Structure 1
Amino acid sequence: MPDIGNVEVIVPNFKIRLSGVTSTIIQLVPVQTRLGQKIATIGPGLPASLPALRWRDLLALWSPPAGKHHRVWHARRNIEMLPGLVMRDLLRMKLKLVFTSASQRKHSGWTKFLISKMDAVIATSAKTATYLERPSTVIMHGIDPERFSPPTDMALAKSTLGLDPTRHYAGCFGRVRHQKGTDLFVESMIRLLPDRPDWSAIIAGRAVGKHQAFEDGLRARVAAAGLSDRILFVGEHTNINDWYRTLDLFIAPQRWEGFGLTPLEAMATAVPVVATDVGAFSEQLQNRDGETGTLIAIDDLDGMTQAAARYMDDAPLRQTVGNAGRRNVLANFSIETEARSLGAIYSSLV
């Protein structure tokens, strides 16, 4: 339990269900702590390993930490900006408010109002910054290139997870729903696998609530195609980095995305990527004529199928593009770089 008197940055998480924002917090805070940032979380849905404040610790926010004029309240959702605003402006607590936006859509009037009251705003991509009606700093998400790293023995990586070590696997990871384009991945595999008997496909992720019928429909489509033993729905896993190590190709078929980490996770694992032009995917792939992966249009099933076929049928290409993707992540998308950039914003405020 951290001493509130020493905490300079508070990261609220006011959503219980796991989401991309929650995952970002879980991955970033340990790195920020390791770098010496005096940071703590507050709220449900986070692992006990993270430094966490109690609700009553908020009563101490009228006094800044030693040697500082303010603390930072770093929000990533509307429901986290609002309490920060109340504490700073109504209760007169010694806070500076930071908001990170990953959204690539027009904001509601309420969200615009909240953002306008922040002391600093961070956009997770250049695209995102264009939707903000105020100055912002672009700090792109990074990942841990040690956690997401190529296997030393791919056959062993596959067999460890119960997969056939002699087969090639194409993967699509994330929530199973229409927005994520899981149906496009399934349809492309139904087209491609019959002519490629040494390939199979993995869908890692789960359908929640109203999306369960969508997954059920996909499973029925796979069964009707006679591919239930080759298009595998493996569910949600906390050791998703191990599943990336089983892949020979990764496809990110999203129809919409705020930022999206899966292409970075695949590239860090030296897996070639086919991704739709949504979220920050074009910025992640650097859009260098296919050097670090292939970008396709949204909802372009034919383009997805053709791009996947090209990689499936060319092992040297998979290796070349996979290695280039890993170098791209190491150079531009390290989570430590993200943490240091956030630390510079905090220091400028407190």
Structure 2
Amino acid sequence: MHQPEPDVGTRVLHLTQPVDGGVARVVTDLTRAQLAAGLQVTVACPDSPFADGLRALGAQVRRWEATRSPGPSLPGEVRRLVRLLDQVRPALVHAHSAKAGLAGRLAVRGRIPTVFQPHAWSFEAVGGTTAALALKWERFGARWAGRLVCVSEAERTTGLGAGITGRWSVVPNGVDTERFHPGAADAVRAALLPEVDPAAPLAVCVGRLCRQKGQDVLLEAWADVVRKVPGARLVLVGDGPDAERLRAGAPESVLFAGAVDDTVPWYRAADLVVLPSRWEGMALAPLEALACGRPVVVTEVDGARESLPAALVPRCLVPAGDPAGLSRAVAALLSDAPLRTSLGEHGRRHVLSTHDVRRTAAAVADVYRDLLCLRPAPRVVPTESRESIHP
């Protein structure tokens, strides 16, 4: 049975360092829902357009300058969070992603009910000694989280397999299905890409231009796609540290849109949306594309299989880091308009039934209420850490 919302007036503090991409959208959606439910919401994050958007929603925003990765600035970042906690005095802290999860748990140390949501595990993003240190921290830091919230069962399984212990909840990512919905492609494509033949098969990749999202693998696969589907075009939507390198190696059939304020028109313009990630928890871009009625091709990383309806799995899920498999799937779908339409309709129904952001917000509210009413939560060993909450 769904539990009621936390008490009106409960003060929640969200901590996040990423101010763009999926983490920022998750925090924004949760903030909007929690404000509507009567909670007092404060977000600690670096100055950014993201912070401005949260203020526009009515949230209190506290400036917390932090680097994206751990480094020499970490002690100062933790000290600033300690002071901020004394000022805000939240009833509950919700830390998002590896960096905020590290600094936040060091600052709180279990003194306040704390939710840690990794949004993909830190030790998957690095290698060698750095990965070993990240894993050692995650195992140790879990003691200071009253609840570990994963966005997919696969992400939870990865954590368990790595020896991370604690109380777990699985709350699948959701998207705003009123914002992300189908629309006519012709007009929007003409406005976005006036130089492109309206009849050209169009693939779109939405995501930060970085190693995690795998655009380099997509570019490696793209030459084979164009051989199979002459005239096909690819648009990379987003910006990031790999932008210059990717541009330097891209053929003329690949366009770079850069960072955009609204991704909806790009989803609607696409015949197919592709996200060739190397790792994820559960990526938002495929869910947003499906909500817009567009089929997707995604790599089999954590959360990918769970984000797809069964009808899409055979044609839309490919191994990670496999340019040949990626090119086959993309070319096959770009060549088959009726199949794309059918898969897009399946995808839209799946998102409406399983990944609506309102279901996600309700499940997170259940986690908060449980922590606020039942603290301190007992820790359990991995074989017993079976608690999952699905909206």
- Alignment TM class, shorter chain as reference: 0.7 to 0.9
RCO (CA 8 Å, sep 6+): is it higher in 1 or 2?
Answer: 2
| CA positional deviation for 1:17 | 4.8
* Alpha-carbon RMSD: 2.6
Q: Does 1:199 align with 2:201?
A: no
**Partner SS, residue 60 of structure 2:** coil
Q: Is contact 1:251-1:274 (8 Å) kept?
A: yes
Gaps of 5+ in 1: 65-70, 223-227
Instruction: Summarize deviations over 1:18-76 as a string: whole Å, max 9, x none.
Output: 343233212321123224444332232322324015577743556x7xxxxxx111112
Tell me the equivalent position of 1:52. Answer: 60
Gaps of 5+ in 2: 1-7, 64-82, 125-133, 373-391
- Count of residues paired in the alignment: 322
| CA positional deviation for 1:292 | 8.6
**Partner SS, residue 282 of structure 1:** helix
- Distance (Å, rounded) in 2 between the aligned partners of 1:103 and 1:266: 20
Q: Is contact 2:21-2:208 (8 Å) kept?
A: no
Q: Does 1:299 align with 2:321?
A: yes
- Distance (Å, rounded) in 2 between the aligned partners of 1:186 and 1:349: 45
Greater Cα shift, 182-191 or 330-339: 182-191
Tell me the equivalent position of 1:157. Answer: 188
Tell me the equivalent position of 2:376. Answer: none
Q: Is contact 1:37-1:343 (8 Å) kept?
A: no
- Distance (Å, rounded) in 1 between the aligned partners of 2:322 and 2:116: 34
Change (3 A) 1:324 1:257: same
Q: TM-score, normalised by structure 2?
A: 0.74
Q: Does 1:119 align with 2:146?
A: yes
| CA positional deviation for 1:99 | 1.1
| CA positional deviation for 1:349 | 2.3
- Distance (Å, rounded) in 2 between the aligned partners of 1:276 and 1:345: 30
Q: Does 1:327 align with 2:365?
A: no
- Structure-to-structure mapping, 1:268-307, within 5 angstroms: 268-286=291-309, 288=310, 290=312, 294-307=316-329
Change (3 A) 1:293 1:11: farther
Q: Is contact 2:105-2:144 (8 Å) kept?
A: no
Instruction: Summarize deviations over 1:267-324 as a string: whole Å, max 9, x none.
Output: 11111111110121111014x2536951111122222121122212211100000100
Task: Supply the AA of the counterpart residue of 1:11.
Answer: H
- Distance (Å, rounded) in 2 between the aligned partners of 1:82 and 1:234: 34
- Structure-to-structure mapping, 1:10-159, within 5 angstroms: 10-13=13-16, 15=17, 17-44=19-46, 45=48, 46-47=51-52, 48-50=55-57, 51-54=59-62, 58-59=85-86, 71-76=91-96, 77-80=98-101, 82-83=103-104, 86-87=107-108, 95-104=112-121, 105=123, 107-130=134-157, 131=159, 132-151=164-183, 153-159=184-190
Change (3 A) 1:102 1:277: same
| CA positional deviation for 1:332 | 0.6
Tell me the equivalent position of 1:68. Answer: none
Q: Does 1:237 align with 2:260?
A: yes
Q: Is contact 2:9-2:39 (8 Å) kept?
A: no
Task: From 270, 292, 296, give the equivalent of 1:247.
Answer: 270
Change (3 A) 1:154 1:213: closer
| CA positional deviation for 1:186 | 2.0
- Distance (Å, rounded) in 1 between the aligned partners of 2:290 and 2:343: 9
Task: Supply the AA of the counterpart residue of 2:177.
Answer: P
Q: Does 1:337 align with 2:359?
A: yes
Aligned sequence identity (%)? 27
- Distance (Å, rounded) in 2 between the aligned partners of 1:40 and 1:7: 11
